[in-house]
Amino acid sequence: MRKFRRNSQINKTIGTIFVILTLTLITIGFAYSIWQETINIQTTLNMAEFKILIQNYNTTLTTQMPLDNHILELTGTITPSQTIWTGIIIKNNGTTPATITYEITTNNTLIWDTYFTHNEYFYGPYTTDPPPEVWNNSPTLPPSGALPTPPELSAQNKLVAWQNITLDSNCPPNAFTAIEITVAYTATFQTWTDTVSVIYTLTFQP
C-alpha cells in the first residue's frame, strides 16, 4: 500500500512537471510564431527663447530706472530750443536673431508733429559691451559712424540706440503743458515679438 502511494506521488509530480513544461513550450512557441516588434522614433524638442531688454541707458533728463528692463521711464522739463539726448543699449537676450524696428507715439500728435523734431542713431551690433566712443565717452553726440536703421541683432548681441528730441524755438508759451512720448523698439523673429520702450513725460517750461 505504502509503495503504491509513493508511486502515485511520483506520478503526480512527473505529471505536474510535464504539464508545466508543455505549457511553457506552448507559450514559447506561440510567442515565437507571432514575433512582433516595435521600432521607435523618439524626439525631444527644445524651443528657442526670444527676449530683448534694455541693458543700460544714458540721458540728459532726471530718470527712473526701469523695473523689468523693458521700459525706461524718463521725466523732466523741456524748453524751446532744448534737445534731450537719450542713449540705450538693447541686448538680444534670446537664442534667435532679431530684427529691430522702432516707432514713436505720443498723446498729442498735433503738438508733436508741429513743434518737435526727433532723430535716431544706431550703432552695432556688438558681441561684447559697446566701445566707449559710441557709448559713454563720445566727444560729441551723436557719436560718429551711426547707422540710419537698426541692424539685425544676433542672439546675445547688443545694439546702441541714441535718440534726440528737440522742441522748436518758435513753440508758443501756451502750446501745451505736458506731453508723453513713447519710443518703442520692437524685435521680431518669425511670429515672435518683444518690445522695449523709452517713455518720456515732459512738462513744457516756456
Partner 1 sequence: MDRHSLGHIHLNLPTIKGEMNMKTKIFALLILAIIALSIMGYSYACLNGGLNINCNQPNCDIKFTTVTTSDNEHEKDVATTHAQITNDGNTINTYISNAYPCYEAHITYTIQNTGNKPTHFTNLTIINPNPEALEITTTNHTCTWVQPGQTVNGLTIVHILQTARESWQYTFQIKIGIICQIEYPRTIGFWKHQFQTALGIIKGRQHIPSATLEQYLDQITSQSQIFSFTGTQRQKFQQALDILSPPQRSSMEAKLKAQLLALWLNYVAGWTNGYKIDGMTAEEIIEGSENALTTPIPAEYEYWKNLCDRFNNIT
Q: How far is the CB of 10 from partner 1 (least distance, A)?
A: 31
Q: How far is the CB of 26 from partner 1 (least distance, A)?
A: 15
43 or 140: whose CB is closer to partner 1?
43
The one-letter amino acid code at 151 reads P
C-alpha cell at 153: 541683432
Residues 74/113, Cβ–Cβ less than 8 Å: no
153 or 179: whose CB is closer to partner 1?
153
51 or 60: whose CB is closer to partner 1?
51
115 or 189: whose CB is closer to partner 1?
189
50 or 115: whose CB is closer to partner 1?
50
Q: Which residues contact 48 (CB under 8 A, 6 or more apart)?
A: 94, 95, 96
Q: How far is the CB of 193 from partner 1 (least distance, A)?
A: 11
Report how far residue 141's alpha carbon sits from residue 135's, in angstroms, rounded to the nearest whole number.
Answer: 10
Report how far residue 127's alpha carbon sits from residue 204's, in angstroms, rounded to the nearest whole number.
Answer: 40
What is the strand order of the sheet 158-167 is part of? 52-59, 83-92, 158-167, 116-126
The one-letter amino acid code at 71 reads I
Q: How far is the CB of 43 from partner 1 (least distance, A)?
A: 4
Residues 70/195, Cβ–Cβ less than 8 Å: yes
Report the run of H or E that residue 184 belongs to, with start and end.
strand 178-189
Q: How far is the CB of 150 from partner 1 (least distance, A)?
A: 17
User: Which chain residues interact with partner 1 by CB under 8 A?
Assistant: 32-50, 94-97, 189-192
CA dihedral 62, 81, 140, 164 (to 10 degrees): 60
4 or 32: whose CB is closer to partner 1?
32
Report how far residue 203's alpha carbon sits from residue 183's, in angstroms, rounded to the nearest whole number.
Answer: 17
Q: How far is the CB of 194 from partner 1 (least distance, A)?
A: 10
